[in-house]
A and B are shown apart, each in its own frame.
Chain A
Amino acid sequence: EVQLVESGGGLVQPGRSLRLSCVGSGFIFDDYAIHWVRQPPGKGLEWVSGISFNSGSKVYADSVKGRFTISRDNAKKSVFLQVNSLRPEDTALYFCVKRGSGNYRYFDNWGQGTLVTVSS
């Protein structure tokens, strides 16, 4: 069974940083791109960032470019999202998602999310 487990969220003051982690299991981790999607409380989904299977490609939403950095450690079956210069509008549940194989562009497995709350 495919599993993605996020951690690292919490309550943080504006301007501070957090490092979100996602550990995958039940699939060949180094074969798949992994993405982050966030959802503010009571609102819709927003794609945040993605990283290719070998870290050769990293992409970001305009809203987080320059503040967030994605990385992965295939030996640890983990993906990380370093979130800096946090703003109140970054408050959201952050989901780690697995992209489909090959050139498929869908997200076929989702974690349960880790909640980031930015408030003074």
Chain B
Amino acid sequence: QSALTQPASVSGSPGQSLTISCTATSSDVGDYNYVSWYQQHPGKAPKLIIYDVSNRPSGVSNRFSGSKSGNTASLTISGLQAEDDADYFCKSYTTSYTYVFGTGTKVTVL
């Protein structure tokens, strides 16, 4: 159950776009089709923002989008806003019927 690899931090100015990668280093994640992304503000519980690689739950801003290429999933935040300043975690279902989270990325809005 090795953690998925994310960059420790990324930053951008308001209005810009940024992308966070999430790389699986083992075959435990199968086809990697069950990737979800979570946003966590300090002192708060995580919030689901993307599921099944690229689907957005109702109520989540369309500035958040997800994609996948091979064993790397990506979260893109477009039109960066101050409220996007938070930690972001990817997660995948595994072939052992368990789950694994990414190492987490701190997004800083400059």
> CB within 8 Å of B: which residues of A?
35, 37, 44-47, 50, 57, 59-63, 95, 100, 104-108, 110-113
CA distance A50 to B98 in the complex (A): 8
Which residues of B lie under 8 Å from residue A61 when comparing CB positions? 1, 98
The residues of B that contact A95 with a CB separation of less than 8 Å are 45-46
Q: How far is the CB of B8 from chain A (nearest CB, A)?
A: 10
Chain A binding surface SS class? loop
Please tell me which stretch of B10-18, B19-27, B99-107 contacts chain A, meaning at least 4 of its Cβ atoms lie within 8 angstroms of it: B99-107
Given known contacts A45-B40, A105-B36, what 13 new A-B pairs fall within 8 Å (CB)? A35-B99, A44-B103, A47-B99, A47-B100, A47-B101, A59-B98, A104-B52, A105-B51, A106-B51, A107-B38, A108-B57, A110-B47, A112-B45
Q: Which residue of A lies closest to B34 (CB)?
A: A105
For B45, what are the chain A residues with a Cβ–Cβ distance below 8 Å? 95, 110-113
Q: Check B98 against A47 for contact (C-beta < 8 Å).
A: yes
- Spell out B's residues near A (CB within 8 Å): 1, 3, 34, 36, 38, 40, 45-48, 51-52, 57, 89, 91, 93, 96-104
Residues of B contacting A100 with CB < 8 Å? Answer: 51
Residues of B within 8 A of A105 (CB): 34, 36, 51-52, 93, 99
Known: A35-B99, A47-B99, A62-B1. A104 touches B51 (CB 8 A): yes
B3 to chain A, nearest CB (A): 8
A83 to chain B, nearest CB (A): 18
Partner of A107, one of B1, B48, B96, B100: B48
Q: Which of B36, B89, B93 contacts A44 (CB 8 A)?
A: B89
